[in-house]
Structure 1
Amino acid sequence: MRRDQIEDDGVLTLFDMEPQASGEPGGAGQPTPLMTGIDICRTEDGLAAIKKPSTELVIWQRDFPKRFQDWLDRLDAATLPDFRILVEPRDLRRAIDPLLDACDMPACDMRDLLVEDIDDLVRRFAETARSESVDLRLQRVDHDACWKFHCDNVEARLLTTYRGPTTEWVQMVHADRALAEQQDYEGPLERLGLHDVALFKGSCAGPNSGIVHRSPPIAGTGQTRLLLCLNQHSVSSPDPWTEI
């Protein structure tokens, strides 16, 4: 078995080929764990690949200016935002600016860059998920939140980490083992890059859908994450945002 790559419109798709027969180099009839149904893209347009039936996860690999990361890492963790809102994309900036003010996040060009990025991701997610409103969580995390391996009980979810350790996930061939062993799991583990945008299918997307993942255990390390999570409107969403 080998890993083949196809690049089309900025999207790199990794998929499994037929297994080698026993006795061939690297074969012995044993399939090599590969990334099946995972798309890697270089631009935000590539996130639309999640609409393909065969795709379970799209990762947009991207970089932010170093000065943005330096600014965010220097902030007192107490000033990092921690809120959840249900908002229409057109209202995003008006909705979150007062919330950032409330947590004393300094108003500056780097904060503007953060807001601009969240605004872009909310619009892109709403378009891709065909959702008029978006359930947005911008979380300050300094404990072992969602540390268990799991599949999200949603159709689709977007995650990106702005600060601290990033989301961990396993290839589908290792999913059952990770779910069964949990903290004892010592198999192959993937990690998103800082600022990478991951668009996951959840278990509600269809039979056998859902990428197994978890938040990295960080309790007691002194680290604080800043995580953005976007979901479609659901019964568990807060009331829609309205301007006061």
Structure 2
Amino acid sequence: MSSVNVSNESALSCCESNAIHRRLSEGDDPRVLGEIYDVETNIAVWKRTLSEELECAVDLFMDANATTKKVLAVTPDNTHEELVNAFGEARVNKVFSEDVAQLVDMFCCLFDLKRAGLRLTVMDSAICPKFHVDKIPCRMVSTYQGIATEWLPNHLIDRSKLGLGSFGVKDEVSGLMRSLNDIQRLNCGDVALLKGEYWQGNEGAGLVHRSPPISSGVNRLLLTLDFIDF
């Protein structure tokens, strides 16, 4: 048994020494999101706390919408209209839609996009429960209610254990990570940019992340924004 443990530790040490260096950029100023353009940054996080007014608006939205997922093509100017069309006018609070529109505007401006692909999901279970990388240039994520996205630092993982490399076992025992303490988590309200595998020069260093486990009876509201026109 001890020889297996030593072997696993040696493999992870080797992976750490050979890993492409990537880092977290974070701050309480939204301009920190621009640091995603730094070649060594694969996650940029604007740390923010939702206002009491916005929290109330989110509560109203959650009360009016059961577990659901809507995928929309939006611009900063038509976000409210598209949300109303998708969910119904009585179910979309203007405070909430204005905040979503602000994030759409930031995302489109930062990447010079005409539109963004918006996905708004109310869920009671993890939609992507295993750690993975996205084959996209970059994605914005923000959790408005519930437990937020989990991720792993690039230098602390054995990427060969992603996907089929885990042989179907849980991430916690597959050898993907050295310790559960390596798992990092965004906070509710944070706005994060996750750099994917298709960002030029980022092959083999896309951010490894997953949806967090959700306790029974607890719902989560997740917003994601993706490239569609650029």
TM-score range, shorter chain: 0.7 to 0.9
Question: Which structure shows the bigger proportion of residues in helix conformation?
Answer: 2
1:231 aligns with 2:223: no
Judged with a 3 Å threshold, the aligned counterparts in structure 2 of structure 1 residues 146 and 191 are, in CA distance, closer, same or farther, namely same
Secondary structure of the corresponding residue to residue 77 of structure 2: helix
Number of residues paired by the alignment? Answer: 196
Aligned partner (choices 31, 38, 44) of residue 52 of structure 1: 38
1:194 aligns with 2:188: yes
Alpha-carbon offset, residue 51 of structure 1: 1.1
Judged with a 3 Å threshold, the aligned counterparts in structure 2 of structure 1 residues 207 and 196 are, in CA distance, closer, same or farther, namely same
Identity %: 29
Secondary structure of the corresponding residue to residue 204 of structure 1: coil
Aligned structure 1 segments of 4 or more residues deviating by more than 4 angstroms: none
Q: TM-score if structure 2 supplies the norm length?
A: 0.75
| C-alpha separation in 2, matches of 1:212 and 1:163 | 22
Question: What does residue 8 of structure 1 align with?
Answer: none
| C-alpha separation in 1, matches of 2:217 and 2:119 | 22
| C-alpha separation in 2, matches of 1:126 and 1:81 | 25
Alpha-carbon offset, residue 66 of structure 1: 3.0
Farther-moved stretch of structure 1 (35-44 vs 161-170): 35-44
Deviations 1:184-242 (A, max 9, x none): 36431111011001101001113233110000122x611111000000018xxxxxxxx
| C-alpha separation in 1, matches of 2:190 and 2:109 | 19
| C-alpha separation in 1, matches of 2:43 and 2:184 | 12
**Contact (CA 8 Å) 1:129, 1:156: kept in 2 or not?**
no
Mind listing any 5+ residue stretches in structure 1 that lack a counterpart? 1-29, 235-244
1:163 aligns with 2:163: no
CA RMSD of aligned residues (A): 2.6
Aligned partner (choices 54, 67, 70) of residue 83 of structure 1: 70
Alpha-carbon offset, residue 113 of structure 1: 1.9
Aligned partner (choices 101, 106, 111) of residue 119 of structure 1: 101
Mind listing any 5+ residue stretches in structure 2 that lack a counterpart? 1-15
Alpha-carbon offset, residue 126 of structure 1: 1.0
1:43 aligns with 2:29: yes
**Contact (CA 8 Å) 1:77, 1:224: kept in 2 or not?**
no
